[in-house]
Amino acid sequence: MGKEKVQFQLKTPKGTKDWEGKNMVIRDRIFSTITDVFKRHGAVTIDTPVFELKEILSGKYGEDSKLIYDLQDQGGELCSLRYDLTVPFARWLAMNPTIQTIKRYHIAKVYRRDQPAMTKGRMREFYQCDFDIAGTYDPMLPDAEILRIVCEVFKGLGWEGRYTIKLNHRKILDGIFEVCGVPKEKIRTISSAVDKLDKLPWEDVRKEMTGEKGLDGEIADKIWSYVQKKGGRDVLEFLQSEASMSSNASMQKGMEDMDLLLTYLEAFGVLDKVEFNLSLARGLDYYTGVIYEVITEGSAPPTKEGQKIQHAAKKEKVKNADDDGSDDPSVGVGSVAAGGRYDELVGMFSGKAQIPCVGISFGVDRIFSITKARMAADKGAAAVRSNEVDVFVMAFGGKGFTGLLKERMAVCRVLWDAGIKAEFSYKLKPKLPAQFKSAETGGVPFAVILGEDEQAQGKVKVKEMGLPEGHPEKDGVMVLLKDLASEVRSRLRKKADDVVAHVVEPTNGLSIAELDQAPKIGDGGV
C-alpha cells in the first residue's frame, strides 16, 4: 500500500504573519529610518538570545507576566521566550560588569501571548526597536535625549504633528497614591489599574480598584481628582501648589526631575510634543522614574462606548485567547512607542552596584499598521515599489536583432560597479514593449536603452520613465557609454531633490512621492 497523503492546514499561527512584497518595503524603510536616528545619537548595537531562563523574566512585568510564553524543559533548564528587549539588556549588563556606560540599540522580535488584532499591529510575534542609555550621569540629561530621539524618529517617518508623547514620573504617581491613602502593598496593582484609563472609562477602572483590588471608594475618587489632570508645566505648578503633595518625599523627587526635564526638552525644541499626563502609569514593574509613551489617532478606541464594548468583549473572550480582534472597532492599536527610567533592574541580576538606565522601545508592527492605514486613506498604497532598482537596461533592433545580451550585461556591470541598482531582461531577444512593461511594473525611474547603431558610436540612450507628452526629454537623451555611470548618478540625485522639494506637507505620513522615489538609507526616508 502506498503512503497516505498528509493534508496540511496551510496558515500561520494566530498572532503571527508572513511578510512580503510592498509590506516588506514599507517595514524595511521604517527600520532604516529608526536605525539612522539611533546611530546619529552614538548608539552601538547588540543581540541577545530569543529565549531567556524563565527566572530572568519572572517578576519583572507585573500583571503582564501572564503573557510570557514558557517553553518545555530542555536539559534541565526552564526557559521562556523574551517578552521585551529591556530585561535581556539588563541581564547582559549584569554579565558584563566592565561596561558601566553604553548607548545601545537592539532591533529584534519579541513574543507575547496577548489578544491578537492583526490589522492593528497587535501581534504575538513582533519587532521592537529599542534605544537605551546606561550609566550614571547628571539628572535628566539622558532622559531628555531619549525624548529628542523619539521626535527625530517620528519626524523621519513623516508623522510630525500627528503624535503626542505622554509623560509622567513613577515617583510622582507613587506620591499621589501615598497622599491619597493607598496602602503600600497595593501601590503597584493600583498603578496598573490607573494605566488602563487610556482604554477604559473611569467607571470601569474605579470598579477594578474597589471591587477586584479592594481599595476604599473614597481613596479611589481622590486618586481620580489628580490623575485626570494633563497639560504642560501647569500640571507641575499645580502639584507644587498642593501642600500635601509638595511635602511628600517621593513627590518632591519626582517634581525636581520633571522640572529639569521640561527645561531640557525646551532646549531640545521638543517641549511642544509632550503632554504631562498624571494618568500614565506604565504597568511594568521595573520602572523607577520618568515614564512615557507615544500615542496617535489610532492608539485608543474611538469612543467611550467603544471602550465599554472592548472591556465587555475581553470578559467574553477569556475562554478563547486565540480570537483575533482585528475587526472589533473598539480595539485600538495602542501606544506606538514607550519606555522610561529603570535604575534598579540591573542590580536585580548582579547584586552589586546599580547601573541606572533609561530607554525607549518602538513597536514597528503598530507603526506599520497606522502607516498602511494612512496610505490607504491617501490612496498611496499602489505607489509603493517592491524593489529599489534605479535603472532597467534594455535593447532594441530591427530585422536580424541579436538581443545585445552581452552588451546589456556589460552595461549592468558598469552600473553595478558604480553602486547603481540595475536590472535587465533574462531573455536572449526580448521585445522592447515587454522590457518597458517590466520597468513600469517595478516602478523603475530610468531606462538605459541600447541600439545597434548607438553601440557602434559608443553611446546609449538614458530615458526617464513617466515623463509627460511634449517634455523635451520624453524620448531620452544620448550619452557616451564612458559617461553613463556619472550621468545616471546625477539624474538620480536630481530626481531625489525634486521629490523632497515637492513634498509640501510631510506631516501627511508617508506621501506617495516619498515612497515611490524615496531617499535611500541614511537620508531619513521611510
Residue 300 pLDDT? 56
Residue 511 pLDDT? 35
DSSP assignment of 48-75 equals --SEEEHHHHTTSSGGGGGG--BPPPBT
Residue 307 parent element (H or E): helix 304-316
Please give the span between the terminal C-alpha atoms of the chain, in angstroms, as a whole number. 57
Confidence of residue 38 (pLDDT cuts 50, 70, 90): very high
Q: How far apart are CA 198 and CA 376, in angstroms?
A: 26
* pLDDT surpasses 70 at 320: no
Residue 253 pLDDT? 94
Residue 329 pLDDT? 43
Q: Is 10 exposed, middle or buried (0-12, 13-18, 19+ CB in 10 A)?
A: exposed
What mean pLDDT is predicted for residues 355-363?
A: 94
Q: How far apart are CA 434 and CA 481, in angstroms?
A: 24
Confidence of residue 306 (pLDDT cuts 50, 70, 90): very low
Kindly report, residue by residue over 172-203, the tens digit of the pLDDT.
999 999 999 999 888 888 988 898 887 789 99
| Cβ–Cβ under 8 Å, residues 386 and 439 | no
Cell numbers describing residue 254: 519626582
Q: Work out the mean pLDDT of the chain and round it to a whole number.
A: 83
For the ranges 109-118, 452-461, 492-501, the maximum mean pLDDT occurs at 452-461
Confidence of residue 303 (pLDDT cuts 50, 70, 90): very low
Q: How far apart are CA 30 and CA 127, in angstroms?
A: 11
Task: Please provide residue 74's backbone torsions phi and psi, each rounded to the nearest 5 degrees.
Answer: -125, 110
Distance set, CA 76 to CA 48, 72, 79, 80, 299 (Å): 21, 10, 10, 13, 42
Residue 294 pLDDT? 94
H-only helix segments in 340-388: 345-350, 364-377
What mean pLDDT is predicted for residues 380-396?
A: 78
The maximal CA–CA distance of the chain, rounded, in angstroms, is: 95
Residue 401 neighbours by CB under 8 Å, 6+ apart = 395, 429, 452
Task: Please provide residue 327's backbone torsions phi and psi, each rounded to the nearest 5 degrees.
Answer: -90, 0
Other C-beta atoms within 10 Å of 99: how many?
A: 13
* pLDDT surpasses 50 at 423: yes
Confidence of residue 332 (pLDDT cuts 50, 70, 90): low
Which domains does the chain carry? 21-306+330-377 (3.30.930.10), 391-502 (3.40.50.800)
Q: How far apart are CA 526 and CA 30, in angstroms?
A: 5
Q: How far apart are CA 174 and CA 287, in angstroms?
A: 12
Kindly report, residue by residue over 276-297, the tens digit of the pLDDT.
999 998 867 789 999 999 998 6
Confidence of residue 428 (pLDDT cuts 50, 70, 90): very high
Q: How far apart are CA 335 and CA 67, in angstroms?
A: 18
Q: Is 518 exposed, middle or buried (0-12, 13-18, 19+ CB in 10 A)?
A: buried
Q: Is the model more confident about 379 or about 186?
A: 186
Residue 326 pLDDT? 42
Q: How far apart are CA 394 and CA 403, in angstroms?
A: 9
- Binding-site members are 84-86, 112, 128, 132, 282, 286-287
What mean pLDDT is predicted for residues 466-475?
A: 89
Confidence of residue 499 (pLDDT cuts 50, 70, 90): low
Query: Where on the phi/psi map is residue 140: left (φ > 0), alpha (ψ -120 to 50), or beta?
Result: left
| Cβ–Cβ under 8 Å, residues 35 and 105 | yes
- Binding-site members for L-histidine are 84-86, 112, 128, 132, 282, 286-287
Q: How far apart are CA 518 and CA 526, in angstroms?
A: 7
Nearest to 443 by CA among 518, 516, 520, 519: 516
Kindly report, residue by residue over 59-86, the tens digit of the pLDDT.
888 777 888 999 988 888 999 999 999 9
